[in-house]
Amino acid sequence: MQKNILLIFLIFFSIQLKAHYTGIPKQSFDLSGINFEKITFGVKITPSISWLGVKHNDAEADGASMKYGLGVVAEYEINPLLSVVSGVNYNTFGGYVFDSLSLNDAATKDNYRLNYSQIEIPLGLKLQSPATKKISYYLQGGVTTGFILTATEKHESSIPNTTLQPINILPLTSPSIIGFFLGVGTQCHIANNLKLFGEITYKNSLSNLALGSNYMTDGIHNYHAALELYPASMDFSIGLLF
């Protein structure tokens, strides 16, 4: 019963979120064809290393930053070796960049950090090996849809004991992004339906995070060309399936 309620909540939440960000009309779904006994849920925490791919004639990438995430995992078993994986994640991402404006500003350090947070909904396939001594290994991959919650630009002052407030760049940021993920992992059967898992996942955006033309008219950056940002990360997750 708890699995049924959680699945219905996840589907309803995903539909409402997608409709809110994209304007797509809400739809009803028939859940009668789903075998709830084949569904496994879980939770995970995800430290990550995040960076930005930059395409521009002025701005350039200048390093990665440590980020984190939390998530609810859902798996639907097709057969003992293959499952559909999904869930709802909250994660932060970003990285360091620099441009001619930051390089020529004596009051700040040469580079600055772009910070973002999002609600992310992955959908993919998981190929798992047979368990040996309660341990199995798996490969997984698929697509992700992210809905941006916050976006800031953080400069560091070059003047001692001076802190600069983050700049809100949400008006310069796309409300949603699409990407892909590829990962490997292992899981250990602890007791009954409880499993401990750990995984390493590479993620990369396929769509531009920046509303590039807005950077040309925002009155701060005044770029001469549209900015393109493609976030990527290496995630290190640990969690429990139950």
32 assigned to some structural domain: no
Lowest mean pLDDT among 10-14, 106-110, 116-120, 179-183: 10-14
200 assigned to some structural domain: yes
Query: Using one digit for the tens of pLDDT, what is the confidence trace for 189-200?
Result: 999 889 999 999
Give dist(CA 8, CA 172) in Å, integer. Answer: 34
Tell me the average pLDDT of the chain: 90
Give dist(CA 190, CA 206) in Å, integer. Answer: 37
How many distinct structural domains can be found in the chain? 1
Query: Using one digit for the tens of pLDDT, what is the confidence trace for 141-183?
Result: 999 999 999 999 999 999 999 999 999 999 999 999 999 999 9
Q: What CATH number is associated with residue 168?
A: 2.40.160.20
What pLDDT is attached to residue 27? 54
4 assigned to some structural domain: no
User: What is this structure's pTM?
Assistant: 0.86
18 assigned to some structural domain: no
What pLDDT is attached to residue 28? 57
Range of the domain at 111: 38-241
85 assigned to some structural domain: yes
Give dist(CA 38, CA 100) in Å, integer. Answer: 55
181 assigned to some structural domain: yes
* C-alpha dist (Å) from residue 74 to 43, 77, 88: 9, 10, 9
What pLDDT is attached to residue 8? 47
Percent of the chain with pLDDT over 70: 86
2 assigned to some structural domain: no
What pLDDT is attached to residue 193? 87
Of 65, 64, 153, which is closest to residue 105 (Cα–Cα)?
Answer: 153
Mean pLDDT of 77-84: 96
Give dist(CA 115, CA 79) in Å, integer. Answer: 40
47 assigned to some structural domain: yes
